[in-house]
Amino acid sequence: MAAKNKDKKFDEKIKKESLDSISGFGKKLVAAVENKNPPSFEIPLRSKTNISFDEKKKILVLGDKTSSRRFLNVAHARKFMQSALIASACKEYIEHDRTVGKRELYYNLKHSLPNSKENTFEDDIESGTVLNDLEASMGVLRERLHIEAKARGSIYGDITLSQAGDTFDCSKLGRGGWAIPGYTEDVDIINYKADFILAIENDAMMSRLIQEKVYKNLNCLLITGEGMFPRGVRRFIKLLNEKLKLPVIAFVDGDPYGFYIYSVLKYGSIELAHLSERYAVPNTRYVGMTMDDIETYELQNVTEQLKEVDKKRIKEELGYMWFKNNPAWVRQLEKMLDMGVRIEQQALANKSLDFVAKKYLPEKINEEKFLD
């Protein structure tokens, strides 16, 4: 099976769209000033109170609540200025075909204001917040503004990719994989052979599955985000999912954090709810670890006690709409509380090193023992 999507024109189109959005944002503000109106722009409110679960699209979405940034409001003025600075910088990056990291953006724009000790930005938290606001306000993906995400995570499997003129086979990289870069909008898929994408929480588990040749035996692509999947990896998974129509199967720890990682892959995150459509893969399925695995595979001896923070986190999650309405999830989380334990992916090594590859994953995936 092979897919090809090399389209320079398409890339140019995206670039133009992004530039139009940014210029449009600036033009609207200047137009207001020219008409002697106070300039302002709206931002969707990105707080939990404005987040809901879209039952149709099966993703987290932002509600209609917005707040505004008004230049003439004393409390807003600094953020307004910062927004203009970041917008104009992004315009330059796109025009010069450069992608920039979050902290690089901060340093690139930081300078002191005349006659004061005040800087345009005091730290990268400030610039990051304004960037989030801007992204939400313009409805343009950060990557399309040429701000790249943290590079962390890798892919391994029978897929040949092309980026920046290079073409490489991700199953021909020894024991390592391809380090997924922060910017993947321009990745093209040359060909591939896989039935699904296995998204793996733990990088040591990734290493085990590479060693055990799982990608061949189960015919899949292995992707890890080394813990919580960073947005770059999530975006890359989404791109693969869209282009190849491959289902995603999550393989995470049986604990509140594993569940949240899964929920973010599937429905999107609270923080980036305004971009769920560009990140979330609603038909993601959950293969493990489940609380039932502990009994089925006799793992009682290698569970870990829940700490108070874990319990608190479970209770928090049980309060989220998109958890609350899913009886299978609720059952797992409540069982977790009842048993007072959590179970890690690597606990499967207690059976034998190749247990996960030879028995656990084949059995559960072939028999579709999923939690949806």
Partner 1 sequence: MPEQISGEKLFEEFKTVQLSEFFRKNRQYLGYVGKIKSLTTVIHELLSNSLDACEEAKISPSIKITISELGTEHYKVRVEDNGPGIPEQHLEKVFGQLLTGTKFHRNIQLRGQQGLGVSGCVLFSQMTTGKSTYIKSGTGKGKIVEARVEIDIKTNSPNLIDKKVENSIMRGTVVEAEFKGVQYTKGIRGPFEYIRWTAAANPHAEIMFKDPEGSEMLFERVIDKVPKVPKEVKPHPSGLEAHDILDLALKSKSRAISSFLSSDLARVSSDKVSEIQALVDFDLAKSPKRLEWPEAEQIVKSFKKIKFMAPPTDGLIPIGKDQIEKALNNLLSPDFIEVISRKPTTYKGGIPFIVEIAIAYGGNSGRAAASKEINERKVEIMRFANRSPLLFDAGGCALTKAVNSIDWRRYKLKDMENSPVSLFINLISTHVPYTSAGKQAVAGEEEILNEIRMALMRASRSLQLFLSGRRKASEIAERKKMYERYIPETAKALAKLTGKKEDEIEEMLKALVLERFGDDKPDDDEEEEELEEESAAYDEIPEDVSEEDE
CB of 167 to partner 1, least distance (A): 31
- The residue among 248 and 356 lying less far from a copy of itself, judged by its C-beta, is 356
Cβ–Cβ < 8 Å for 191, 336: no
Query: What backbone torsions phi and psi does residue 245 show, to the nearest 5 degrees?
Result: 55, 35
- The residue among 49 and 115 lying less far from a copy of itself, judged by its C-beta, is 115
If one counts every other C-beta atom within 10 angstroms of the C-beta of residue 40, the result is: 16
Query: What backbone torsions phi and psi does residue 69 show, to the nearest 5 degrees?
Result: -110, 115
- The residue among 116 and 366 lying less far from partner 1, judged by its C-beta, is 116
- The stretch among 74-82, 158-166, 182-190, 206-214 that binds partner 1 (CB under 8 A) is 74-82
CB of 280 to partner 1, least distance (A): 13
C-alpha to C-alpha distance for 135 and 259, rounded to whole angstroms: 27
Cβ–Cβ < 8 Å for 168, 161: yes
- Per CB under 8 A, which of residues 262..301 are in contact with partner 1? 264, 269-272
Active site (annotated) includes residue 192: no
- What angle do the packed helices 8-34 and 77-95 form, to 10 degrees? 150
C-alpha to C-alpha distance for 157 and 178, rounded to whole angstroms: 10
The residue ranges of DSSP E strands in 27-174, in sequence order, are 40-44, 51-54, 59-62, 66-70, 100-101, 147-148, 154-156, 159-163, 166-169
Closest to 69 in 3D by CA, of 99, 98, 35, 32? 32
- The stretch among 75-83, 160-168, 194-202, 209-217 that binds partner 1 (CB under 8 A) is 75-83
**One residue of 10, 11, 23, 191 binding partner 1 per CB under 8 A:** 23
- The stretch among 63-71, 193-201, 285-293, 340-348 that binds partner 1 (CB under 8 A) is 63-71
- The residue among 41 and 196 lying less far from partner 1, judged by its C-beta, is 41
Interacting residue ranges for a copy of itself, rule: CB under 8 A: 93, 98-108, 110-112, 119, 148, 150-152, 154, 161-164, 166-169, 171-184, 186-187, 203-204, 206-208, 210-211, 226, 301-302, 344, 346-350, 352-353
Q: Which position has the token pair 């709206």?
A: 42
Q: Tell me what percent of the chain is helix, strand and coil, each rounded to the nearest 5.
A: 50, 20, 35
C-alpha to C-alpha distance for 204 and 212, rounded to whole angstroms: 12
- Structure-block tokens of residue 346: 């690597």
CB of 179 to partner 1, least distance (A): 19
Work out whether 235 is an interface residue with partner 1 (CB under 8 A): no
Identify the sign of the CA torsion 255, 241, 230, 347: positive
Cβ–Cβ < 8 Å for 278, 62: no
344 binds, among partner 1, a copy of itself, none (CB under 5 to 8 A by kind): a copy of itself
**One residue of 7, 17, 20, 92 binding partner 1 per CB under 8 A:** 92
Say how many residues touch partner 1, by CB under 8 A: 58
Closest to 151 in 3D by CA, of 207, 248, 223, 231? 231
Catalytic residue from among 107, 192, 257, 262: 107
Work out whether 213 is an interface residue with partner 1 (CB under 8 A): no
Q: How far is CA 259 from the centre of its chain?
A: 14
If one counts every other C-beta atom within 10 angstroms of the C-beta of residue 199, the result is: 26
Residue 201 marked ligand-binding: yes
Query: What backbone torsions phi and psi does residue 369 show, to the nearest 5 degrees?
Result: -80, 70
- The stretch among 78-86, 193-201, 332-340, 341-349 that binds partner 1 (CB under 8 A) is 78-86
CB of 241 to partner 1, least distance (A): 19
Q: Which residues are catalytic?
A: 107
> Site residues (CB under 8 A) for partner 1?
22-23, 25-27, 29-30, 33-34, 36, 38-39, 45-50, 67, 70-78, 80-81, 84-85, 87-88, 91-92, 102, 113-116, 118, 120, 128, 150, 227-228, 230-231, 257, 260, 264, 269-272, 313, 316
